[in-house]
Amino acid sequence: METPRYRSFEEFWPYYVSEHRVRACRGLHYVGTTLAICNLAAALLWMQPRFLATAALSGYLFAWIGHFFIEKNRPATFSYPLWSLFADFKMFGFACAGKMSREVSRVLAEESGA
C-alpha cells in the first residue's frame, strides 16, 4: 500500500499516530528513542562520534521491529524521514506526559468519523 502524500506536519501527524495503534509498538519506539537520546548525550559528553551511529541504530532498530512484527506495516521513515523523526519525538513527549493513548483514541475516532 502506498503512503499518502502530505504537505505539512500537521497533516502527517494523524497518519503517523494511526500507524502506531498497538501499545507494544509504541513501547518499542520509546525504548529506541530513550536509547537514542542516551547515545546522543554520550556522544556529546565524551566527544565520541561513534555514539551517533549507535543512536541511529538503536532508535531505528526498535521502531522497525515494532512496525514489521507487531503493527505489520511499513515505517513512515521510508517516505517521510524528517517528519517521522519529529513525530517520534512528539509521540515520546506525549507518552512522557501520559497523553499518547488518548491521542491515539482521538485520531482513530476522527479517522472512523471521516
Q: How many CB atoms lie within 10 A of CB 16?
A: 20
- Enter the C-alpha cell of residue 69: 512484527
Q: If you search the block for the grid coordinates 515494532, which residue do you land on? A: 66
**37 closest CA partner among 12, 19, 62:** 62
Identify the pLDDT of residue 1: 56
- Enter the C-alpha cell of residue 100: 499518547
User: Quick check: 100 and 91 in contact, CB under 8 A?
Assistant: yes
- What is the spatial distance between Cα 109 and Cα 84, in angstroms, rounded to a whole number? 22
pLDDT in tens, the chain (114 residues): 566 789 999 999 999 999 999 999 999 999 999 999 999 999 999 999 999 999 999 999 999 999 999 999 999 999 999 999 999 999 999 999 999 999 999 999 999 986
